[in-house]
């Protein structure tokens, strides 16, 4: 769907960090990753927790397959926390990706990450549903979005070998994700339509929410207070 992004590669995607295997995938096993895992598990409903886990594992497999050099802790935090804006605890007046990004950045700061890594976390979460931008950002942001994209829309689905997909799905089943995700985003379109005018939540509002109306970018231009 999108042209391939270009990122630095390493001779191996293996990290100097300790690892563990989840659903057969070697992932970073550090205090920061464990903290992000536990935080995500506490905040999300089971279907949404399983989604972020599958996304993380898919993103990790892509990075390993392509031999990319990346910060495995940052990738884990971005991907595990990318849907915090859909959790009740972080519902607010901003578009849900920004609410989630703010919460994820606070988490990263509290976990001891420096300003640059915290900014990568913010960018990755804020742009997780904007692949036309995220895929051309830093490798951690791009990889995370690509992993999310496999699980959400099936983009790059064939990049993951069938046995690996099945192992991940068996460990973290989808739990009716398509309908549950649609319901969650329609709730935003219904209760906070002003946050959906320039993002993919608008598509759900227009298709599924009776009476939905969001501000138009065209109206903003035409109503701008200039003489011409």
CATH 1.10.3470 fits 19-172, yes or no: no
Mean pLDDT, the chain, rounded, equals: 92
For 175-207, the pLDDT digits (tens) are 999 999 999 999 999 999 988 888 888 889 899
| Enclosing H/E stretch for 89 | none
**Cross-strand partners of 26:** 21
List the domain boundaries for the chain: 19-172, 176-222
The b/e string for 178-203 (b: 16+ C-beta within 10 A; e otherwise) is eebbeebbbebbbebbebbbebebbe
| Residues β-bridged to residue 19 | 28
- Global pTM value: 0.90
């Amino acid at each position: 769907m999108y042209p391939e992004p270009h990122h630095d590669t390493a001779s191996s995607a293996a990290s100097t960090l300790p690892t563990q295997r989840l659903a057969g995938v070697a992932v970073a096993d550090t205090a920061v990753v464990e903290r992000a895992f536990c935080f995500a598990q506490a905040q999300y409903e089971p279907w949404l927790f399983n989604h972020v886990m599958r996304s993380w594992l898919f993103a990790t497999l892509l990075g390993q397959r392509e031999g990319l050099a990346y910060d495995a802790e940052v990738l884990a935090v971005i991907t595990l926390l990318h849907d915090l804006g859909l959790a009740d605890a972080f519902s607010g007046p901003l578009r849900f990706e920004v609410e989630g990004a703010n919460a994820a950045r606070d988490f990263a700061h509290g976990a001891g990450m420096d300003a640059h890594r915290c900014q990568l976390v913010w960018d990755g979460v804020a742009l997780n549903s904007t692949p036309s931008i995220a895929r051309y950002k830093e490798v951690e942001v791009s990889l995370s979005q690509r992993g999310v994209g496999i699980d959400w829309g099936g983009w790059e689905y064939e990049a993951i070998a069938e046995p690996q997909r099945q192992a991940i799905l068996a460990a973290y089943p989808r739990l009716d994700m398509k309908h549950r995700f649609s319901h969650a985003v329609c709730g935003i379109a219904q209760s906070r339509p002003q946050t959906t005018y320039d993002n993919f939540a608008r598509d759900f509002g227009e298709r599924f929410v009776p009476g939905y109306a969001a501000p138009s970018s065209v109206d903003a231009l035409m109503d701008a207070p200039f003489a011409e």
